[in-house]
Amino acid sequence: MSMEFDALLKKDLTVTSLFDFYGELLPPETKEILHLKYEEDFSYSEIAEHLSISRQAVHLRLQRAVQKLWECETALHGIQRWQERQAKYMAAERALQAADYEETRRILRELEATDA
């Protein structure tokens, strides 16, 4: 794969994650545009035709929506916290598989403390 394709794929996956976390905070039409682009893989032209708006309007609305999603993540850190928790769960699982019960307990206590 080319580096350009990898960068596009990573961007799409990031936007999809942001949309999963914060999509409900967006207006319905904005959610629909993001859904069509990132979940249904519509082109700008297909979205424009589907919503009876211009391709330029699709582009601008997508840009604004992604910016809004990033603002939500910057303020709330939901994805960051989720990733940190996932890493701790994986560490606890590895410790448990290695029969390191003290380490497993330590990690689980950390997880409990973050829930409080």
- CATH code, domain carrying 57: 1.10.10.10
Q: How many CB atoms lie within 10 A of CB 52?
A: 7
Q: What is the mean pLDDT of residues 30-46?
A: 95
Longest dimension (CA), the chain: 60
Residues 13 and 70 in one domain: yes
pLDDT at 116: 63
Tens-place pLDDT, residues 43-76: 999 999 999 999 999 999 999 999 999 999 999 9
Residues 10 and 53 in one domain: yes
Residues 14 and 32 in one domain: yes
Q: How many domains does the structure of the chain reveal?
A: 2
Mean pLDDT of the chain: 90
Our measurement of the distance from residue 66's CA atom to the centroid of its chain's CA atoms, rounded to an integer in Å, reads 11
Is the Cβ–Cβ distance between 17 and 86 less than 8 Å? no
Name the residue range of residue 63's domain: 3-76
Q: What is the mean pLDDT of residues 79-98?
A: 93
Give pTM, 2 decimals.
Answer: 0.74
Distance CA(100)–CA(75), nearest Å, equals: 37
